Amino acid sequence: VRMNIGNQCCLFWGIFLHISVCLGEDYDLDDKTGLGRSFDGIGGLSGGGATSRLLVSYAEPYRSQILDYLFRPKFGASLQILKVEIGGDAQTTDGTEPSHMHYEDDENYFRGYEWWLMREAKKRNPNITLIGLPWAFPGWVGNGENWPYSFPDITASYVVLWILGAKQYHDLDIDYVGIWNERSFNSKYIKLLRYTLDKRGLERVKIIASDNLWEPITSVVFADKVLQDAVEILGVHYPGTNTVPKALKTGKKLWSSEDYSTFNNNVGGGCWARILNQNYVNGKMTATISWNLVSSYYDDLPFGRDGLMTANEPWSGNYVVESPIWITAHTTQFTEPGWMYLQTVGHFTHGGSYVALTDERGNLTIITETMTHDHSVCIRPPLLPYNVTAQNVTFHLKGTFASIIELQVWHSKFDFKTNKTVLFQNLRPVKVSISIYGSFSIELDVDEVYTFTTVRNGHRGNYPDPPPSAPFPKSYKDDFDFSGNPYFSEAPNFADQTGVFEYFTNLTDPGPHNSTLRQVVTQRPVTWVADADQTISVIGDYKWHDLMVSCDIYMEDVHTGGVFIAVRVDKGGGVIRSTRGIFFWVYADGTYKVTNDLRGMTVLAEGLSGTRARVWYTLTLTVKGNYASADLNGYPLWKNAVLWEPRHGWVAIGTSSFELAQFDNFAIEALA
């Protein structure tokens, strides 16, 4: 490291750092003219939907290790915000999350896994900000309409009860609640929600709106004083680091309340590095929340591996700490919500950006990024061309910071040529020249992230390597005997796509089926994606093609009851309605059907089964090559149905409509 003081030169050895007051472009970091906006944190989003589904199925110690990488301060991502879905019994991207109120007279605050996840996050970081947002609602909230705001008093009460339940049953204080709908937002509802929150003693819970686009919410807030008072945060999804002038004029806090949504390889890490800085530099957004928190859903569902890290093999225990975890740490381990951005932040002359924050007690953190265009593309919106070149920059520390003599240094370098990427490496501290005012220089290469900070306790957390990756076991059984596991109400490894499949204990039946898995949604939810007309939950290995599946089934509806087991299910998420596979259906009217699709349009075989409601039956489906056959209670019902597509996919169970039905003694034997 070469440092010049006056006309004298002194030679010091270091790594990557070139300290100088006379070389390269100059950038001032100064608080004497005032500060910028207050930093609100970096976060992750669990939900929207079912993106943490497989996490709760991990055994210890791996589950706790994953949580530490996400939430433990000074260890990994050290997230400062956790946003979760308020489950609405509906498909919301990669699956369905259960509601706390399936029906109007039903309340249960132990369904799903978001309660558990919030508790675990809070256990690790008591100061973490908690946010709830409903993406969908049970059908009764819409009162027969696929729209949640026709009866805003019902919707507001539904959301407020979730917030009250979080406190009463889990001692969780929700800090913010979001307002979102893909199609629009409703000013009357926002005002009524604010009124309902206040009436129930929840004045401290603030509202984020519209959790979608800058407009029309900005213009409406700007023109409506009551709405302006009701909304605390203008939150947007995927802003591309930009805002609109009118949003700045409102004086409201601006957040990127959903961002990233990008495959978590090194290009995804570059996307995350660029937007974490430039959301503030370009758009004055003081919080950025990643969709999603952790990729804990099957890879072949939509947006596979779009989380900050990957943990989608609970059967093996394998997980991967991806690059976005360490890019997050460059900011979160050296700041806290409430720190202030400096006004003197911006872009480097030769590409890239820098931000600087202070706690106003003498601490300073500077984060630089020089991510090139092709190595930092996010999934959305489109990224316009720009250039970044290697450069030497000199920072001049002025005002309160002029007396700083040393900064800790953390460095990440994405190397796309040799794949020798270095992430969150602690380098030798940089000495700051105190001639006239503090100065130091740095040679910045492309695709790098640096943190320079007075905070000394950063740490690159580490655990022993988890078990190696392994496919879903070829032999798998579950008798759905709920043992009181407090983490979730659904069976491990099942990923509900439409409908909700929950553990059910029949207290009036002490027999072999007193503990089952039950589909409980009986009315089409209010949703922004196309839920299927049938309910379906998938499990297993998407590459499976030849296998045998068996399951005990029980139809509860005498008139319209129908259930299925299926193999080679080829789609999920928001396109589940168009999924294909081999579906074996039986009905309460005594018939059966074999179809090549979930909608039942392509019939391969059909006939009489003798099945009826409120009787247990065992279904067995076997598929080998182009042929499928099935048994009912051990007797052949049909065989050798000819099929050509699809060639592989998940296993699934489900019902023919939104109806009550039960499943037990589920088993898979994959043959190939």
Of 258, 313, 369, 502, catalytic: 258
Encoding tokens for residue 149? 């705001």
Is 556 an annotated catalytic residue? no
Is 322 an annotated catalytic residue? no
Q: How many CB atoms lie within 10 A of CB 381?
A: 11
Please tell me the number of Cα atoms within 13 Å of 158 on its side-chain side: 29
Q: How many CB atoms lie within 10 A of CB 293?
A: 28
SS3 content of the chain, % helix, strand, coil (to 5): 20, 35, 50
Q: What are the C-alpha distances in Å from 593 to residues 358, 560, 629?
A: 67, 14, 12
Of 25, 104, 145, 182, catalytic: 182
Q: Could you identify the residue written with the tokens 């407020």?
A: 160
Q: What are the C-alpha distances in Å from 451 to residues 367, 442, 565?
A: 5, 11, 53
What is the full DSSP assignment across 457-514? Answer: -------PPPPPP-PPPSEEEE-------TT-SS-TT-EEEES-EEEEE-TT--STTS
Encoding tokens for residue 307? 């989380």
Q: How far apart are CA 565 and CA 651, in angstroms?
A: 8
Strands 364-369 and 448-453: antiparallel
Which residues have a Cβ under 8 Å from the Cβ of 514 and sit 6 or more positions away?
Answer: 505, 506, 507
Encoding tokens for residue 628? 């499928």
Task: Reduce the DSSP state of residue 240 to 3 states and report it.
Answer: coil
Task: Reduce the DSSP state of residue 383 to 3 states and report it.
Answer: coil
CB 610 within 8 A of CB 591: no
Which residues have a Cβ under 8 Å from the Cβ of 347 and sit 6 or more positions away?
Answer: 281, 353, 354
Name the residue type at position 115: W
Q: Prior bond to 126 cis, omega within 30?
A: no
What's the longest Cα–Cα distance across the chain? 98
Closest CA to 366 of 434, 430, 321, 433: 430
Catalytic residues: 182, 258
